[in-house]
């Protein structure tokens, strides 16, 4: 159909600019729609690389004892969110409970732990797995007089499948450390 016939289509006056504008708008809409559909079908990052499996040795249903063999509590540690989260469910012998979410942060290559208990105590820790140990460190204001206190928790997988957890604190910026918990995890 010649352009001047097109311009008289349906009794309306249509300029060449209007025709090309409509064509341009529909082209942009088409490209944008295809881009959105492609993005929706793109593979999402997964948690299946070896780094995400470094803390799996802690997963299990555990009885936890102190260094003298006294029952400290139980801990159900599960792997959740398609293997992206190691979720801790602590139940202490003295009635305290708490949970932590542990995950590998691909943006900086560190493991992270967010802990909170039924008394409102919280920890925000970060660290790495090396030499058979997961070492997580952080700081909170739980020290004497509300001063900053360093926290360090080390998880070690033992040859018999048990796990040792040592929690240390430092009130002097990490110059000296005091053990506040030394627990042995054995599967139920």
37: left (phi over 0), alpha (psi -120 to 50) or beta: alpha
- Read off the CATH number of the domain in which 163 is found: 2.40.128.20
Same domain, 155 and 138: yes
Same domain, 92 and 132: yes
Same domain, 26 and 59: no
124-141: b or e for each residue (b if 16 or more CB lie within 10 Å)? ebebbbeeeebbbbbbbe
How many structural domains compose the chain? 2
Distance CA 85, CA 55 (A): 10
Nearest to 155 by CA among 25, 47, 64, 92: 64
Same domain, 177 and 160: yes
Q: Which residue has the higher pLDDT, 43 or 144?
A: 43
Same domain, 23 and 113: no
Same domain, 54 and 37: no
Same domain, 15 and 82: no
Tens-digit pLDDT profile for residues 8-56: 444 444 444 443 444 443 443 444 444 444 455 667 889 999 999 999 9
Say whether pLDDT at 76 is over 80: yes
Distance CA 82, CA 48 (A): 9
Global confidence as pTM: 0.76
Same domain, 173 and 101: yes
Task: Count CB neighbours of 178 within 10 A.
Answer: 9
Same domain, 107 and 87: yes
Same domain, 123 and 33: no
Distance CA 181, CA 42 (A): 45
Same domain, 92 and 156: yes
Same domain, 86 and 61: yes
Query: Average model confidence (pLDDT) for the chain?
Result: 84
Structure tokens, 73 = 């509590």
Range of the domain at 30: 3-41
Q: Which long-range contacts (CB under 8 A, 24 or more apart) does 140-145 make?
A: 142/169, 143/169, 143/171, 144/171
């Amino acid at each position: 159909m010649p352009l001047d016939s097109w311009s008289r289509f349906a009794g309306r006056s249509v300029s060449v600019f209007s025709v090309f504008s409509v064509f341009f708008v529909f082209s942009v809409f088409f490209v944008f729609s295809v881009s959105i559909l492609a993005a929706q079908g793109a593979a999402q990052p997964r948690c299946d690389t070896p780094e995400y499996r470094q803390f799996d040795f802690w997963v299990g249903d555990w009885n936890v004892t102190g260094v003298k063999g006294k029952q400290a509590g139980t801990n159900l540690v599960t792997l959740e969110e398609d293997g992206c989260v190691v979720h801790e469910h602590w139940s202490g012998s003295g009635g305290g409970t708490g949970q932590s979410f542990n995950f590998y942060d691909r943006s900086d290559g560190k493991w992270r732990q967010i802990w909170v208990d039924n008394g409102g105590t919280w920890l925000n820790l970060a660290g790495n797995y090396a030499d058979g140990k997961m070492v997580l460190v952080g700081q909170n204001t739980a020290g004497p007089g509300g001063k900053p206190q360093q926290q360090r928790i080390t998880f070690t997988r033992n040859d018999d499948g048990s796990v040792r957890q040592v929690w240390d604190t430092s009130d002097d910026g990490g110059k000296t450390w005091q053990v506040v918990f030394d627990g042995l995890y054995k599967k139920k």
